[in-house]
Amino acid sequence: MNWKVACCIALIAWSAYGFFGERAAKVHGDKINMIFETIAFILLALIAAIGGVNDFQKVTTNSAINGSIMGLLSAGGFWFVLYALKIAPQQDTALVLLISGMFPVGAAVISNFVITPLSLMQWIGIALAGFGMVLVNLK
């Protein structure tokens, strides 16, 4: 599969998950949604394992710690998105998804301090993304 197709599929999936997550959380709450997502992750991990994940011998202590932190942050972020969807007024649902969907911008800013400095063009892109979020939410 082409990486562009994979990105488009991820975009569609992440765009739709907030919609379905909000509808479900309004009925049974964000904690139950967390359980459903965990079950889905386990099922996908089993499918990946059945498909022949042969990279376990590459795992180091450091990579296991980083992977565990990644999983906790992912699950924690998901929990707070569901919580925000549950308590936000109906008219702000799109805003919840828009703000939480800005995670690539947050990752770029963090990488500026941890990995490599961002270029001026990248900072302009971050500013435009923030400005775009303001424009989308003007009443």
Q: What pLDDT shows up at residue 1?
A: 83
CA distance 87 to 79: 12
Domain that holds residue 130: 102-139
Average pLDDT taken over every residue of the chain: 85
- Provide the domain count of the chain: 2
Cβ atoms of 73 and 64 within 8 Å: the answer is no
CA 3 to chain centre: 18
CA distance 126 to 76: 24
Which of these, 22, 27, 15, 121, lies nearest to 129 by C-alpha position? Answer: 121
28 and 62 inside one domain: yes
Last residue of a domain, one of 47, 67, 89: 89
DSSP 88: S
Which of these, 13, 139, 135, 30, lies nearest to 88 by C-alpha position? Answer: 30
Residues 55-70 have a mean pLDDT of: 87
53 and 75 inside one domain: yes
78 and 16 inside one domain: yes
Structural domain includes residue 95: no
106 and 136 inside one domain: yes
43 and 106 inside one domain: no
What is the pTM for the complete model shown? 0.67
Structural domain includes residue 17: yes
How sure is the predictor about 123, in pLDDT bands with cuts at 50, 70 and 90? very high
Q: Please state at what angle helix 93-100 crosses helix 120-136, rounded to 10 degrees.
A: 170
Structural domain includes residue 97: no
